[in-house]
Structure 1
Amino acid sequence: MYLTRFRFNTGRTEARRLLGSPHLMHGTVNMAFPELPHRDGQGPRVLWRVDRDHQAETKLFIVSPTRPDLTHLVEQAGWPTLDTPGWATFAYGEFLDALSVGDTWGFRLTANPVHNIRKPTDKEGDRTKRTAHRTPHHQLRWLLERQEKAGFEVTRKPVDRQLTEYGDEHELIVRDQLPLQFRRPPEKHAKQDVHITRVTFDGRLRIADPVVFRQTLTHGLGKAKAYGCGLMTLAPIGGP
């Protein structure tokens, strides 16, 4: 497994075009690999996420089973005349293997919190419709409901740091959310319009089941993984 970080040159038109289209970014990420892993749900997949901490620091993170080559991305959206390669790739497998029960980490996750609903006019047996959670309260609850099956638990705040009696018990915030609507090329039997709400969570967690948690980090969490959702990364608490 590999973890790769790339910094965009947001002064370039092509960089801004890629950042404005999850579909184009999906294709660009895929081009970094001569062969993509099979989408059978058994093995790790290619996950990616864009972090915009501020305008001058927009970064792409990729987790992948094989090492990517981002030469094409440097030429389109980086600094191609510099002597440095333009991205950094780290061996991720050793880090994953060292994770243990009880380890505590800071984390960031970009996900697509959704739920299935029925309209009041729907009859029993009608197909449900997948729709996005719109409020931070429901988005936070979406993640908390999945933590156990994902092999971790979000740490709780001390009582004296909770802002409210209910709903602020955990070290977890919605950092930002972005409703997205874009078009993909026409495909047989496929809708062209895609609607997702991309939400970024920052928080602290404790590892409960390292085997399951490693799968979460390498397979992703939630829907819309092709469009920049599902990737969780860790950082030492108190670190940068």
Structure 2
Amino acid sequence: MFLTRFRLNTARSGARRLLSSPQQLHAAVMSSFAEPPGRPDGGPRVLWRVDHNSRTEVVLYLVGPQRPDLTHLVEQAGWPTTGGWQTYDYAPFLTRLTTDSTWSFRLTANPVHSIRRKDGEPTKRTAHLTKHHQARWLLDRQGAGGFTIVTKAPERQLLPQGDEYELIVRDQRGLDFTKVEQTRGSRSRVTLVTATYDGRLRVTDPDAMRHVLTMGLGKAKAYGCGLLTLAPVR
């Protein structure tokens, strides 16, 4: 497994075009591999995420089973003469994960749930729209994901309710774009709601945590959702 970081040059029209279309960015990500990774055995997949740290600092993170070549992205949306990308071997880090280790994390996800408006109707996938329900979506996935969100000390809880976890939900985005099927040329409308989570977690099951880090969490992985990354706690 490899983890890659690439900073986009938002002053360039190519970068703005890619950032405006999750489908185009997905295609550019998959073009980073000479042989696009497949998952016939249910193995690791390609995951990606765009972090909007500021108006000018926009970073693409990419995790996949092969080392990528982002030359085309540098030419279209980077700094061709002074900037490139950084790729790291992810396997040593994944191997070192241990029970009870604590990490800062970031995740952009598509928090959804299935509802049935009337008896007998099929369920419909619906986005969570409030920060409270978006946070609950992640909290509900703690055990199966091999982690728990760290709880704040009582004296650091500023609100009577909903402030007990080291967790911030921010940067909610509504994505609405046209999806084009390359083989058939058909078009369909895709509407998504995404949210970015920052916080601290404690590893409870290293194997389950490794599965989340390499397979993603939640839906809409083709459109930049599901990639959870860890960093040392400062």
In the superposition, the TM-score normalised over structure 1's length comes to: 0.93
Name the CA shift for 1:212/1:42 in 2 (closer, same or farther; >3 Å): same
Of 140, 145, 149, the match for 1:150: 145
The residue type paired with residue 97 of structure 1 is T
Structure 1 stretches of 4+ with a deviation exceeding 4 A read 186-191
Rounded Cα–Cα distance in structure 1 between residues aligned with 2:101 and 2:43: 24
Q: Match for residue 132 of structure 2? A: 137
Of 189, 199, 205, 2:201 maps to 205
Q: In structure 2, what is the Cα distance between the partners aligned to 1:87 and 1:100?
A: 29
CA–CA distance in 2 between the matches of 1:109 and 1:25?
Answer: 18
Indicate the SS of the match to 2:38: coil
The CA distance in 2 between the partners of 1:102 and 1:132, in whole Å, is: 32
Deviation, structure 1 residue 80: 1.1
Overall identity of the aligned pairs, in %: 57
Aligned runs of 1:157-196 on 2, under 5 Å? 157-186=152-181, 192-196=188-192
| TM-score when normalising by structure 2 | 0.96
Q: Does 1:79 align with 2:79?
A: yes
In the alignment, the residues of structure 1 paired with residue 166 and residue 16 of structure 2 have an alpha-carbon distance, to the nearest angstrom, of 33
Q: Which residue of 2 aligns with 1:103?
A: 101
Q: Does 1:35 align with 2:35?
A: yes
Where 2:140 maps in the other structure, the secondary structure is helix
SS of corresponding position for 1:54: coil
CA contact (8 A) 2:103 2:231 kept: yes
Instruction: Give the drift of 1:36.
Output: 2.3
**Cα pair 2:179 2:189 within 8 Å, conserved:** yes
Q: Displacement of 1:17 after TM fit?
A: 0.6
Q: Which residue of 2 aligns with 1:117?
A: 115
Name structure 1 gaps, 5 residues minimum. Answer: none
Counterparts in 2 of 1:189 and 1:139: CA distance versus 1, 3 Å = farther
Once residues 68 and 30 of structure 2 are traced to their aligned partners in structure 1, the CA distance between those partners, rounded to angstroms, is: 9
Letter in 1 for 2:105: F
Residue of structure 2 equivalent to 1:66: 66
